[in-house]
């Protein structure tokens, strides 16, 4: 079956990421403290069920196509211990899936932390809870201290993706095959494995990956349905369009597949452009958690030996402001214009976050989303 026809069959059960909207939207990282913002200002997301549920319901009310949690096992220290508190993403997705009725609900799975038979079963369960709105984000892990919590070493970078291929292959077989199968792979052994009931989505739930390295991009292009561009300092639609086209071409030319390509962005909205810039200045320049972000970039392996100081500073600023996302800063009209420009780059969707996640997303629902609808983007 080609990917195109696969996409059609997924559409038949209406997974939200295949909606026909010009601009598909989602939220990122609503299951952990801090969300996407490393700052000490008041009103930042805390990891409690009421807050994460409220954000899930806001997304659902606006018909967002994706609610994507982060798979995180420990924080990054600093004053805020950014992401140090949070909910495990499969059990979280089961709960969020039960209280929502329209949005796609994702679970983010670190390959080295869970056996594929378990991941396949949990995913199928959530696909039933949500009547076919589940999607699986496959991450191979890069944060050494959290993978070491499992007593597992972090493997060499590209080898992690070879493990992921075998892991995902077992999961897809369980989701789709009727007969039990056994396998002695390079990394996993399964004996007489089977799964019932199969997921609701046919042939199987949507699979996402956000790898940005060559190995990660090839994994996404060959094995996944939704992939991501990490902006990495891109702030112009033209540069984004180039990256999107490159990724789609890779999938088409090397694997004969049509991919959905999304990105992440953060919104800093104000009554006036100056108010938005002042808000940014407050939560990033004045109140950013620079110790936590220094720990993060060190974990990423960025140091003065490997990168020029300006690059490290710029990277830190993007992470503090919105987990390295694409900046959408200004009045509501400016935010709408910038989102329209992103929709014009060939992107299939954008995961959003806000500094004061709940309060700012409520403002977006009241003031900004209606303008997106008016503009024909949603
Ligand atoms: C939208 C998005 C979601 C991601 N979610 C997670 C996550 O939950 N946990 C994690 O450890 N890494 C996460 N990542 C990191 C990626 O899976 C990937 O490891 C990273 O972009 C580096 O690419 P590479 O693995 O190809 O080197 C995410 C990245 C993006 C852009």
pLDDT by position in tens, the chain (length 378): 344 445 445 545 579 999 999 999 999 999 999 999 999 999 999 999 999 999 999 999 999 999 999 999 999 999 999 999 999 999 999 999 999 999 999 999 999 999 999 999 999 999 999 999 999 999 999 999 999 999 988 999 999 999 999 999 999 999 999 999 999 999 999 999 999 999 999 999 999 999 999 999 999 999 999 999 999 889 999 999 999 999 999 999 999 999 999 999 999 999 999 999 999 999 999 999 999 999 999 988 887 777 888 989 999 999 999 999 999 999 999 999 999 999 999 999 999 999 999 999 999 999 999 999 999 999
What is the Å distance from ligand 1's center to 251 Cα? 19
164 lines ligand 1 (CB under 6 A): no
pLDDT score recorded for residue 301: 83
pLDDT score recorded for residue 1: 39
116 lines ligand 1 (CB under 6 A): no
What is the Å distance from ligand 1's center to 130 Cα? 24
Q: Distance between CA atoms of 331 and 76, rounded to whole angstroms? A: 32
pLDDT score recorded for residue 244: 98
Q: Distance between CA atoms of 355 and 308, rounded to whole angstroms? A: 28
What's the number of CA atoms in the CB half-sphere (13 Å) around residue 113?
22
Q: Which residue has a Cα nearest atom 13 of ligand 1?
A: 139
Q: Distance between CA atoms of 163 and 144, rounded to whole angstroms? A: 17
User: How crowded is residue 53: how many other Cβ atoms within 10 Å of its Cβ?
Assistant: 16
Q: Are 90 and 31 in contact (CB under 8 A)?
A: no
What's the number of CA atoms in the CB half-sphere (13 Å) around residue 158?
3
Per the listing, tokens 């696909």 go with: 127
Residue 275, both tokens: 């108010």
For domain 3-374, which architecture applies? Alpha-Beta Barrel (3.20)
Residue of 313, 303, 323 whose CA lies nearest to 263: 323
**Beta strands 66-68 and 349-353: pairing type?**
unpaired
* Position in ligand 1 atom list of the atom nearest CA 139: 17
Q: Which residue has a Cα nearest atom 2 of ligand 1?
A: 210
pLDDT score recorded for residue 4: 44
32 lines ligand 1 (CB under 6 A): no
141 lines ligand 1 (CB under 6 A): yes
pTM, rounded to two decimals: 0.96
The sign one gets for the Cα dihedral 268, 270, 274, 275 is negative
142 lines ligand 1 (CB under 6 A): yes
Q: Which residue has a Cα nearest atom 4 of ligand 1?
A: 210
208 lines ligand 1 (CB under 6 A): no
What's the number of CA atoms in the CB half-sphere (13 Å) around residue 63?
14
How many helices (H) and strands (E) the chain has is answered by 14, 11
Mutate to test the pocket of ligand 1, among 139, 222, 347 (most ligand atoms within 8 A of CB): 139
pLDDT score recorded for residue 3: 44
Q: Distance between CA atoms of 235 and 174, rounded to whole angstroms? A: 41
197 upstream amide cis, omega within 30 of 0: yes
Mutate to test the pocket of ligand 1, among 210, 244, 266, 323 (most ligand atoms within 8 A of CB): 210
230 lines ligand 1 (CB under 6 A): yes
227 lines ligand 1 (CB under 6 A): no
What is the Å distance from ligand 1's center to 145 Cα? 15
Q: Encode burial over 72-90: b for 16+ CB neighbours within 10 A, e otherwise.
A: bbebbbbebbbbbbbbebb
* Coil vs helix vs strand at 4: helix
């Amino acid at each position: 079956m080609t990917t195109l026809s696969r996409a059609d069959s997924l559409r038949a059960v209406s997974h939200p990421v295949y909606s026909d909207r010009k601009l598909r939207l989602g939220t990122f990282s609503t299951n952990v403290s801090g969300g996407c913002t490393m700052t000490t200002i008041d009103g930042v997301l805390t990891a409690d069920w009421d807050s994460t549920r409220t954000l899930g319901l806001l997304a659902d009310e606006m018909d967002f196509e994706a609610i994507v949690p982060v798979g995180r096992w420990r924080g990054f220290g600093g004053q805020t211990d950014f992401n140090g508190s949070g909910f495990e993403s499969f059990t979280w997705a089961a709960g969020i899936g039960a209280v929502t009725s329209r949005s796609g609900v994702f679970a983010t799975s670190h390959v080295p932390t869970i056996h594929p038979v378990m991941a396949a079963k949990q995913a199928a369960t959530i696909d039933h809870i949500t009547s076919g709105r589940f999607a699986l984000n496959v991450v191979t892990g890069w944060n050494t201290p959290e993978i070491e919590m499992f007593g597992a070493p972090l493997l060499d970078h590209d080898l992690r993706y070879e493990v992921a291929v075998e892991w995902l292959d077992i999961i897809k077989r369980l989701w789709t095959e009727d007969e039990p199968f056994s396998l002695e792979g390079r990394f996993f052994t399964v004996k007489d494995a089977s799964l019932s009931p199969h997921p609701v989505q046919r042939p199987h739930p949507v699979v996402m990956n956000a790898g940005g390295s060559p190995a990660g991009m090839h994994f996404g292009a060959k094995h996944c349905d939704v992939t991501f561009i990490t902006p990495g300092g891109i702030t112009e639609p033209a540069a984004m369009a180039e990256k999107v086209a490159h990724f789609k071409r890779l999938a088409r030319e090397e694997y004969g597949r049509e991919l959905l390509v999304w990105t992440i962005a953060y919104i800093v909205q104000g009554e006036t452009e100056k108010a938005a810039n002042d808000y940014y200045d407050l939560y990033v320049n004045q109140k950013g958690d620079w110790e936590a972000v220094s720990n993060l970039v060190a974990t990423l392996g960025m140091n003065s030996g490997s990168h020029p100081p300006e690059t490290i500073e710029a990277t830190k600023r993007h992470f503090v402001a919105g987990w390295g996302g694409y900046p959408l800063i200004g009045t509501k009209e400016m935010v709408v214009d910038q989102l329209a420009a992103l929709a014009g780059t060939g992107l299939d969707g954008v995961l959003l976050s806000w500094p004061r996640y709940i309060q700012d997303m409520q403002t977006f629902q009241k003031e900004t989303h209606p303008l997106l609808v008016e503009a024909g983007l949603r």
